[in-house]
Amino acid sequence: MPGRQSGDRSVAELYRDDPERADALVWGRRGALKGAALATMGAALGGAIPFAARMPEGLVPAALAQGSAAPQFLDMEGKARLILQGERPLNAETPEAMLDDDVTPADKFFIRNNGSVPDPVADTRAWKIRVDGEVNTPLELSVGELEGRFEVVTRRLQMECGGNGRSGFSPQAAGNQWGNGAISNAEWTGVRLRDVLRAAGLKDSAKFTGHYGADSHLSAQGPAISRGMPIAKGMEEDTLIAIRMNGQPIPQMHGAPARLLVPGWPGSLSQKWFNRIELKAEPHRGRGMGGTSYRVPVTPIVPGSRNNGADFADMTSMPVRSVLTSHAHGTRLPAGTRSLDVRGQAWAGDLTVSAVHTSVDFGASWQPMTVNPPPNAHSWQRWTGRIALPSDGYFEIWYRATDSNGRMQPHAAANWNPQGYGANPISRAAILVG
């Protein structure tokens, strides 16, 4: 910065270590970057800022907004270099640029665990799943019997953690600080849950489900998680008991030999190592239900405040979101690059995506992208387009999606809640030309 003394930190160092102080020093009360402040910011970013005049007052550039801690990466045989979010239990996020496949390969599929991973079983076809509770005929069926008795279907279905986007909340909410990468879209093969439930004979009193799996809590006290849903979601066409992923047996890390697949809703409902479903007259009260677990405020609360979740509602359909997969954050392009073909994925829970827009001038103007229809319901959608770059320098690609009900990703994460569910703000990736 102008007048920097020996031992002072550069603006880049300040932004990485103390972004609020850096923001105050650079912007002051100017309201716009000019003169020495603009030159200082450009130096920190590695190039001129062609659209500096359109940068919103006080905006922390995306290239400097990551904080000082470098991410850790997963080192596991059979898995790509995912961003490590936690080791106990193991959780890892897929970098956005790795989500470019229309069907997510197993090695790139994000990892979300709530407890310990069970040991593999010797005979996966002998794995038993029990159906009981509010049914006329309780069933216990092996994976082999499921395949032989019910229609086997294959669908491309999204799987998204309920906390995806949590890092967008301010103040920080509890839990893994996911970016946008707690999402994958594999091709799942299995039987429809509704066919199995009908075979058990649903009673009129069967209004909800309760799900169980073989994973135990890290304390070894009870199941790691046991969630449930309204029966209507369980009876949907795309709610499956999945037995294969991308045409192969489900990897152990992702729930083998069988898992529930409840697309469009929080991934915590898609019970891994699935071995029992109970039909209930009242909402399930397993671990991960009630309070603030996978629940969001009906009426907004003060960000950072405490709340027991008594007035919250269970999360259902996940909010609209998009990822940029053609260019990673921090990409450097050759001097003279004046246009860029960009692409990504977008999805909207139970809905579809009607539009995706991008901006390279800090949101002052937006350009529509082409959005492909989904191959089937509950699959993400490819978006593509071309953006123009007027000169060399520092740019940010902003991208946002709009769902089929007209709801657009907001500029900032909305409806703050203690466990950080439902954050889906507009995303931005920094690029440097030249």
Residue 198 phi, psi (nearest 5): -65, -35
Q: What is the pLDDT of residue 41?
A: 85
Please check whether residues 283 and 333 belong to one and the same domain. Answer: no
Q: pLDDT at residue 29 above 60?
A: no
pLDDT, mean over the chain = 93
Give the end of a domain, one of 314, 336, 351. 314
Determine the average pLDDT of the residues in 165-191. 97
The pLDDT confidence band at residue 70, using thresholds 50, 70 and 90, is: confident
Residue 77, in any domain of the structure: no
Q: What is the pLDDT of residue 378?
A: 98
Determine the average pLDDT of the residues in 362-383. 98
Burial letters 122-139, b for 16+ CB under 10 A, else e: eebeebebebebbbeeeb
The pLDDT confidence band at residue 8, using thresholds 50, 70 and 90, is: very low
Q: What is the pLDDT of residue 3?
A: 39
Write the burial class of residue 155 (CB in 10 Å: 0-12 exposed, 13-18 middle, 19+ buried). Answer: buried
Token representation of residue 399: 């991208």
The DSSP secondary-structure symbol of 369 reads: P
Task: Give CA–CA dist 258/149, Å, rounded.
Answer: 16
Q: pLDDT at residue 101 above 70?
A: yes
Report CA Rg, the chain. 24
Please check whether residues 30 and 135 belong to one and the same domain. Answer: no
Please check whether residues 368 and 409 belong to one and the same domain. Answer: yes
User: pLDDT tens for residues 345-367?
Assistant: 999 999 999 999 999 999 999 99
Amino acid in position 224: A
Determine the average pLDDT of the residues in 319-336. 97
Q: What is the pLDDT of residue 20?
A: 58
Task: Give CA–CA dist 315/414, Å, rounded.
Answer: 14
More reliable by pLDDT, 23 or 60: 60
Amino acid in position 131: V
Dihedral sign for Cα 195, 200, 204, 207, please: negative
Determine the average pLDDT of the residues in 224-231. 98
Q: pLDDT at residue 4 above 70?
A: no
User: pLDDT tens for residues 32-55?
Assistant: 666 777 888 888 899 999 999 999
Sequence-ordered strand ranges (E) for 298-392: 312-314, 321-324, 331-333, 339-347, 353-359, 367-368, 370-371, 381-388
The pLDDT confidence band at residue 25, using thresholds 50, 70 and 90, is: low
Residue 22 phi, psi (nearest 5): -60, -45
More reliable by pLDDT, 14 or 168: 168
Q: Please give the residue range of the domain that contains residue 213.
A: 83-314
Which distant-in-sequence residues (6+ apart) come within 8 Å of 165 by Cβ?
178, 179, 180, 321, 413, 422, 423, 424, 425
Determine the average pLDDT of the residues in 315-328. 98
The count of structural domains within the chain is 3
| Percent of the chain surpassing pLDDT 70 | 91
CATH code of the domain containing 309: 3.90.420.10
Residue 423, in any domain of the structure: yes
Q: What is the pLDDT of residue 65?
A: 81
Residue 237 phi, psi (nearest 5): -60, -35
Determine the average pLDDT of the residues in 278-306. 97
Peptide bond into 251 cis (omega under 30): no
Residue 75, in any domain of the structure: no
Residue 73, in any domain of the structure: no
Please check whether residues 160 and 302 belong to one and the same domain. Answer: yes
Q: pLDDT at residue 198 above 90?
A: yes
Residue 226, in any domain of the structure: yes
Q: What is the pLDDT of residue 35?
A: 74
CATH code of the domain containing 420: 2.60.40.650
Residue 294, in any domain of the structure: yes
CA–CA–CA angle 89, 95, 97 (5° rounding)? 160
CB atoms within 10 A of CB 183: 26
The pLDDT confidence band at residue 12, using thresholds 50, 70 and 90, is: low
Sequence-ordered strand ranges (E) for 263-338: 274-280, 295-297, 312-314, 321-324, 331-333
Q: pLDDT at residue 308 above 70?
A: yes
Dihedral sign for Cα 275, 279, 284, 289, please: positive
| Percent of the chain surpassing pLDDT 90 | 86
Determine the average pLDDT of the residues in 124-144. 98
Please check whether residues 32 and 181 belong to one and the same domain. Answer: no
Task: Give CA–CA dist 34/361, Å, rounded.
Answer: 17
230 neighbors 176 (Cβ within 8 angstroms):
no
Residue 94 pairs in a beta bridge with none
Task: Give CA–CA dist 257/235, Å, rounded.
Answer: 22
User: pLDDT tens for residues 248-274?
Assistant: 999 999 999 999 999 999 999 999 999
Give the end of a domain, one of 293, 314, 335. 314
Please check whether residues 128 and 216 belong to one and the same domain. Answer: yes
Please check whether residues 167 and 286 belong to one and the same domain. Answer: yes
402 neighbors 417 (Cβ within 8 angstroms):
no
CA–CA–CA angle 360, 366, 371 (5° rounding)? 105
Q: pLDDT at residue 7 above 80?
A: no
Residue 355, in any domain of the structure: yes
> In angstroms, what CA-CA distances link 259 with 58, 190, 237, 262, 433?
46, 9, 16, 10, 45
Which residue has tokens 């937006």? 366
Please check whether residues 360 and 393 belong to one and the same domain. Answer: yes
Q: pLDDT at residue 96 above 80?
A: yes
Task: Give CA–CA dist 61/45, Å, rounded.
Answer: 8
Task: Give CA–CA dist 264/153, Å, rounded.
Answer: 18
The pLDDT confidence band at residue 213, using thresholds 50, 70 and 90, is: very high
